[in-house]
């Protein structure tokens, strides 16, 4: 056990972010020197707050089943090399989750029943960042090769996790990615200020040194079809994400200046990394309206502020949640509460319980949105009479989520079965309805989180490994395809 009295004597502390006026002038992470380093002065005593409660509900909260009390104890004892070994035992990429996870482990931490929970996510990122800084993360190539080949389609966190697990098990793995660089949403969705891309780059390098081959700029379904891929490899894993964006077909939708977040953010990410993008969508000098909250909305907000938007308004149809757990979402569930991401500290207005009726414009370009307040009655949103108004906008960004994987191309060619929500159906071993074609991440689960994508990749790897060998696998299976977050 870490400090036996820590949870009573030490208050929860988190690292200070850089001052807003400084950080909005650049694209670097919001923590000075990056999250892990910023935390080092306080993290030992924070890890000491873990009370090793006996039944660690944080294990249930974390889809990866991270061994949280074990590494809290090791950090408190200053045993960082064992701490990273325990962390890597369940998580291939803790630098991604330690920065980006909404930390459902913390909302199920036992200390959190009547005090502030342990800063689990911060301990996690400190362990991995220190391990990288001390050259303690090395390639782990397999000792022997099985002679079996696997193609992974998509290089987001699910594709990377499945590929790393299978390469280390001795299978020969090629990852196909249609973008010019691997990483999926980690690279072109999530902005630098949340996670600098060097963290993705050095994992890719580690994976290459282990033997994983990356074929970028290859969209499976075009020159190479899904069926050709299945014929060439002993197994195929679909990890293509849920990239079909939700739209808002209100009058005026055709006006210029209305874009999907995932057209806007990748361009901004490329420019932040020094690339030039022709006809870039920019927020500079504009009134920006973001429709939809969530991670994507917050990422648009932080990006628009850094580009010098005149104003940024985020619209959300749901009412503003409270700051405390609602009674019907008790510990250890992940509650709907009012959360403030780093981007929300930087500016902009958050407007709740409103709906967009129309986009208004001039000369073909959007100039504003006609919105109305709404309230929930008998399970349906109803307009509040007399609340209609027009708010200015020369740039509108849709951040309303995703409805599933793209069907045309590889999905259609392979003929995999889809469920009623349009996601790829898989069995308990993460195999689709087509023999030897497996599924991992958002394309099977639906739009989700990085931690779930990594857990899916790890679990699907066990299914593939068993399929390619004698029907058994020693690889971990942290989740089943049907597992869902701890909610009520
Ligand atoms: C803007 C944004 C911000 C987010 N922020 C967070 C966050 O802070 N924390 C969090 O936990 N989650 C966040 N999420 C969600 C998280 O990023 C996803 O749940 C996660 O990336 C899903 O991983 P994946 O590997 O299944 O798919 P993806 O990351 O979507 O990767 C799929 C990959 O497949 C490739 N691909 C698709 N079709 C083909 C094809 N035919 N051939 C070759 N390649 C193909 C795509 O190009 C892509 O690279 C965010 C999502 C968005 C959109
Ligand atoms: S991956 Fe997420 S849920 Fe798991 S320990 Fe880290 S922050 Fe918590």
pLDDT over threshold 90, residue 142:
yes
Alpha carbon of 394 to ligand 1 centroid (Å): 28
pLDDT digits (tens, 9 = 90+) for 366-409: 999 999 999 999 889 999 999 999 999 999 999 999 999 999 99
Q: 59-62: long-range contacts (C-beta < 8 A, 24 or more apart)?
A: 60/108, 60/332, 60/486, 61/104, 61/105, 61/106, 61/107, 61/108, 61/109, 61/332, 61/334, 61/486, 62/104, 62/105, 62/451
Summarize the confidence of residues 189-206 as an average pLDDT: 98
- 308 and 351 in a single domain? The answer is yes
Domain identity same for 251 and 389: yes
pLDDT band for position 298 (cuts 50, 70, 90): very high
- Residue 477 forms part of a structural domain: no
Please indicate whether residue 124, judged by its CB atom, sits closer than 6 Å to ligand 2: yes
Residue 129 has pLDDT above 80, yes or no: yes
List pLDDT tens digits, range 17-74: 999 999 999 999 999 988 888 899 999 999 999 999 999 999 999 999 999 999 999 9
Partners of 390 in beta bridges? 370
Please answer whether residues 186 and 204 qualify as being in contact, where contact means their C-beta atoms are separated by less than 8 angstroms: no
Mark whether 382 and 417 lie in a shared domain.
Answer: no
Residue 475 within a domain: no
450 CA distance to ligand 1 middle (Å): 8
Q: Which of 35, 175, 189, 444 to mutate to test the pocket of ligand 1 (most atoms within 8 A of CB)?
A: 189
Same domain? For 110 and 181 the reply is no
Share of the chain above pLDDT 90, in %: 95
- Ligand 1 pocket mutation pick from 100, 104, 184, 438 by most atoms within 8 angstroms of CB: 184
Ligand nearest to the CA of 449: 1
CATH number for the domain spanning 386: value is 3.50.50.60
The residue count of the chain comes to: 488
Is there an atom of ligand 1 within 6 Å of 414 CB?
no
Summary mean pLDDT of the chain: 96
DSSP conformational letter for 307: T
* Cβ of residue 162 lying under 6 Å from some atom of ligand 1: no
The reply to whether the predicted model has a pTM over 0.85 is yes
Ligand 1 binding pocket includes 240 (Cβ within 6 Å): yes
Q: Are residues 253 and 394 in the same domain?
A: yes
Is 252 in the same domain as 384?
A: yes
Closest-approaching ligand to the CA atom of 157: 1
pLDDT for 1 beyond 80: no
Report the pLDDT value the prediction gives residue 379, as an integer from 0 to 100. 87
Q: Closest Cα to residue 455, out of 486, 480, 487, 424? A: 480
Same domain, residue pair 418 and 389:
no
* Same domain, residue pair 125 and 158: no
CA of 102 to the centre of ligand 2 (A): 8
Question: Ligand 1 mean position to 241 CA, how many Å?
Answer: 5
**415 pLDDT higher than 70:** yes
Residue 487 covered by a domain: no
User: pLDDT for 69-115, tens place per residue?
Assistant: 999 999 999 999 999 999 999 999 999 999 999 999 999 999 999 99
Is residue 189 in contact with ligand 1, taking CB distance under 6 Å? yes
pLDDT greater than 70 at residue 213: yes
Are 215 and 253 part of one and the same domain? no
For ligand 2, the distance from its centroid to the CA atom of residue 277, given in whole angstroms, is 35
Asked whether residue 450 carries a pLDDT value surpassing 70, the answer given is: yes
Distance CA 163, CA 144 (A): 16
Contact in structure between 183 and 200 (CB atoms under 8 Å): yes
User: For ligand 2, is residue 127 a contact (CB within 6 Å)?
Assistant: no
- CB contact burial 289-309 (16+ within 10 A = b; e otherwise): bbbbbebbbbbbbbbbbbbeb
Taking the CA of residue 101 as reference, the ligand 1 atom at the shortest distance is: 11
The pLDDT of residue 486 = 79
Residues 316-369 have pLDDT tens digits of 999 999 999 999 999 999 999 999 999 999 999 999 999 999 999 999 999 999
Predicted confidence (pLDDT) per residue in 281-294, tens digit: 999 999 999 999 89
Position 4 confidence tier, pLDDT thresholds 50, 70, 90 = confident
Of all protein residues, the one whose alpha carbon is nearest to atom 3 of ligand 2 is 62
Please give the tally of structural domains in the chain: 3
Same structural domain, 46 and 77: yes
Q: Please name the residue whose Cα sits nearest to atom 6 of ligand 2.
A: 121
**Together in a domain, 193 and 336:** no
- Boundaries of domain holding 369: 247-400
Q: Give the other-Cβ count within 10 Å of 281's Cβ.
A: 16
Phi, psi dihedral angles at 203 (to 5 degrees): -70, -40
Q: What percent of the chain has pLDDT over 70?
A: 99
Q: For the chain, how far is it from start to end, CA to CA, in angstroms? A: 31
Is 35 close to ligand 2, i.e. is its CB under 6 Å away?
no
Give, for ligand 2, the residue of 61, 105, 295, 450 to mutate: max count of ligand atoms closer than 8 Å to Cβ: 105
Q: Are residues 195 and 260 in the same domain?
A: no
Given a cut of 80, whether residue 447 has pLDDT beyond it is: yes
Query: Per-residue confidence at 488, pLDDT binned at 50, 70, 90?
Result: low
Tokens of 464: 């593939």
Closest ligand to Cα 66: 2
């Amino acid at each position: 056990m870490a400090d036996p009295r820590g949870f009573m004597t030490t208050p929860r502390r988190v690292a200070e972010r850089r001052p807003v006026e400084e950080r909005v002038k650049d694209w670097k992470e919001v923590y000075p020197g990056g999250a892990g380093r910023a935390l080092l002065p306080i993290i030992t005593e924070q890890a000491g707050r873990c009370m090793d409660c006996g039944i660690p509900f944080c294990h249930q909260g974390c889809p990866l089943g991270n061994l949280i009390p074990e590494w809290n104890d090791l950090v408190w004892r200053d045993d960082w090399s064992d701490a990273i070994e325990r962390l890597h035992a369940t998580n291939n990429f803790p630098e991604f989750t330690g920065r980006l996870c909404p930390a459902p482990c913390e909302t199920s931490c036992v200390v959190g029943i009547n005090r502030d929970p342990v800063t689990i996510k911060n301990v996690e990122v400190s362990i991995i960042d220190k391990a990288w800084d001390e050259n303690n993360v090395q390639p782990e190539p397999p000792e022997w090769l099985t002679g079996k080949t696997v193609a992974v389609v998509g290089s987001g966190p699910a594709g990377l996790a499945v590929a790393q697990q299978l390469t280390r098990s001795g299978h020969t793995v090629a990852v196909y990615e249609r973008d010019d660089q691997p990483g999926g949403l980690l690279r072109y969705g999530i902005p630098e200020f949340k996670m600098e891309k060097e963290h993705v780059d050095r994992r890719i390098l580690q994976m290459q040194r282990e033997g994983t081959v990356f074929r970028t700029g290859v969209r499976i379904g075009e020159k190479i079809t899904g069926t050709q891929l299945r014929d060439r490899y002993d197994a195929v894993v679909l990890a293509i994400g849920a990239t079909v964006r939700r739209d808002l077909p209100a009058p005026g939708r055709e006006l210029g200046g209305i874009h999907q977040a995932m057209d806007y953010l990748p361009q901004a990410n490329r420019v932040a990394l020094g690339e030039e993008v022709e006809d870039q969508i920019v927020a500079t000098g504009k009134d920006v309206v973001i429709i939809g909250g969530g991670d994507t909305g917050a990422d648009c907000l932080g990006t628009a502020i850094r580009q010098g938007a005149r104003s940024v308004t985020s619209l959300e149809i749901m009412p503003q949640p409270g700051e405390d757990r609602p009674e019907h979402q008790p510990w250890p569930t992940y509650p709907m509460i009012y959360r403030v991401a780093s981007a929300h500290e930087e500016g902009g207005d958050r407007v709740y319980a409103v709906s967009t009726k129309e986009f208004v414009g001039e000369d073909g370009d959007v100039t504003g949105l006609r919105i109305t307040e709404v309230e929930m009655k008998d399970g349906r949103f109803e307009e509040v009479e007399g609340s209609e108004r027009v708010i200015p906008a020369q740039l509108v960004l849709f951040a309303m989520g995703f409805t599933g994987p793209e069907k045309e191309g590889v999905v259609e060619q392979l003929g995999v079965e889809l469920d009623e929500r349009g996601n790829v159906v898989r069995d308990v071993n993460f195999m689709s309805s087509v023999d030897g074609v497996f599924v991992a991440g958002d394309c099977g689960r639906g739009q989700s989180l990085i931690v779930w994508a990594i857990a899916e990749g790890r679990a699907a790897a066990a299914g593939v490994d068993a399929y390619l060998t004698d029907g058994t696998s020693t690889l971990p299976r942290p989740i089943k395809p049907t597992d869902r977050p701890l909610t009520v």
